[in-house]
Amino acid sequence: MAKGLDCGTSFYITATEDRIKKQRNAFLTVDGEVTQVKRMLKRQGIPFVEKNKKIHIVGQHAFNYAQIFSTAELKRPMKSGLLNPQEKDALPVLNAIIGELLGDAVGDETCVYCVPSKPIDAQREVSYHEDVLKTIIEQYGYNVKVIEEAVAIGYEGLVDNQLTGVAISMGAGMCNIAVMYQGMTALSFSVARGGDWVDECVSTDTGVSKAKVTNIKESSSTLNLAKGVYSDIYEEGTEESNVLIAIRSYYGALINYLLTNLRVQFEGIDNVPNFPDPVPIVIGGGTALVKGFLDVFNEQFDQTEFPIPISEIVLIEDAHTAVARGCLSEAQLVEEDEEDND
């Protein structure tokens, strides 16, 4: 059975034809005597990973712990869309997360995973990240293929437009962009800013911990970035209202950064494809999930400055799983192709 895997900074998501599985990509190292800690965690049914005499709580449990105990440091195996160089215990945790989500391959199964495009604002290469993930997935017995994250978004959102348009994946660690023409990628790049950047900026400006900002952003029922709604319901001066105002502000700054860099990159490439007809911008990814996101995007978008005529700006249905579903489509086609060849 074909599988698509979205290797995100914040979540790892797998898609198969009959289910979607999500695992928060975070962990927390528990101090204390190993045997005792293990016994305690097992008793409470809390998942953990053991490596080199260290015990790490993994996934949503780690995230929840970090909310409750402000001194507990939530660790991230990935940062800015790539493996976190500061985190020495990242690989065993990633291995465990991928193993849990994919399971061992049964027969000749294909897994398509995604990697970011090369960032234009960070001195990082994608190659090592790509190889590590490939090695882990192959350990579980899969035939592995990789595609770019934004292209996966294109496979979900641009099929009704002959795979022509602009695909944007708004992730936690990065935003990935691909300008596609007839299924080919004319331009792709990433910027090392995303939802985490918003959280960090908001945390710095409001004095609220980053974990709490993330939690408010993801779970606040009152969070709506749409202009009319936003200005009416929040009481000024409360901690939450300060956070929400700052979130809206930094969302605007993030989208502006993204669009400006897209324009600059587009002006800098040779052989720019000609788009005679307006094309859509399709957006997916967890950072685009917040209510009122499209309002902020439309506020920042200026057709007169944008190098391509745009017909519409669309948020893909179930934006959080769009990358995983795009990978799944590719994996299914690879498997069908192999079956036909056999």
Q: Which of 183, 228, 268, 278 binds another protein (CB under 8 A)?
A: 183
CB-neighbour burial class of residue 72 (10 A; exposed 0-12, middle 13-18, buried 19+)? middle
> Binding to another protein by residue 50, rule CB under 8 A?
yes
> Binding to another protein by residue 17, rule CB under 8 A?
yes
> Taking the CB of residue 178, how many other CB atoms lie within 10 A of it?
24
Q: Which of 73, 239, 312, 337 binds another protein (CB under 8 A)?
A: 337
> Binding to another protein by residue 18, rule CB under 8 A?
yes
Nearest Cα neighbor of 330 from 156, 102, 127 is 156
> Binding to another protein by residue 99, rule CB under 8 A?
yes
Residues contacting residue 213 through CB under 8 Å, at least 6 positions apart: 199, 202, 203, 206, 243, 247
> Binding to another protein by residue 45, rule CB under 8 A?
yes
> Which CB, 55 or 259, lies closer to another protein?
55
> Which CB, 16 or 169, lies closer to another protein?
16
- Any idea what the Cα angle at residue 209 is, between residues 207 and 215, rounded to 5°? 125
DSSP string, 15-65: EETTEEEEEE--EEEEPS-HHHHHHHHHHTT--EEEETTEEEEETHHHHHH
Residues contacting residue 28 through CB under 8 Å, at least 6 positions apart: 56, 57, 62, 65, 66, 72, 73, 74, 75
Joined tokens for residue 307: 């190098």
> Which CB, 7 or 93, lies closer to another protein?
93
Joined tokens for residue 294: 């499209």
Cα–Cα distance measured from residue 247 to residue 250, given in angstroms and rounded to the nearest whole number: 5
- Window of 34-42, 108-116, 219-227, 263-271 that interacts with another protein by CB under 8 A: 34-42
Find the shortest distance in angstroms from Cβ 236 to another protein.
35
> Binding to another protein by residue 172, rule CB under 8 A?
no
Give the amino acid at 217: K
253-274 burial: b if 16+ Cβ within 10 Å, else e: bbbbbbbebbeebbeeeeeeee
Cα–Cα distance measured from residue 146 to residue 69, given in angstroms and rounded to the nearest whole number: 38
Find the shortest distance in angstroms from Cβ 246 to another protein.
27
- Window of 94-102, 171-179, 197-205, 226-234 that interacts with another protein by CB under 8 A: 94-102
> Which CB, 271 or 341, lies closer to another protein?
341
Report which DSSP code applies to 104.
S
> Which CB, 70 or 135, lies closer to another protein?
135
> Which CB, 104 or 239, lies closer to another protein?
104
Residues contacting residue 123 through CB under 8 Å, at least 6 positions apart: none
Q: Which of 69, 70, 104, 159 binds another protein (CB under 8 A)?
A: 159
- Window of 9-17, 106-114, 225-233, 285-293 that interacts with another protein by CB under 8 A: 9-17
Q: Which of 28, 30, 74, 93 binds another protein (CB under 8 A)?
A: 93
Q: Which of 22, 193, 212, 248 binds another protein (CB under 8 A)?
A: 22
> Binding to another protein by residue 21, rule CB under 8 A?
yes
> Binding to another protein by residue 42, rule CB under 8 A?
yes
SS3 114: strand
> Binding to another protein by residue 53, rule CB under 8 A?
no
> Binding to another protein by residue 23, rule CB under 8 A?
yes
Q: Which of 109, 156, 196, 199 binds another protein (CB under 8 A)?
A: 156
SS3 68: helix
Joined tokens for residue 301: 């978008």
Site residues (vs another protein, CB under 8 A):
15-24, 38, 41-42, 45-51, 58-60, 91-93, 95-97, 99-101, 127-128, 131-132, 135-136, 139, 155-156, 159-160, 162-163, 183, 325-326, 328-330, 332-333, 336-337
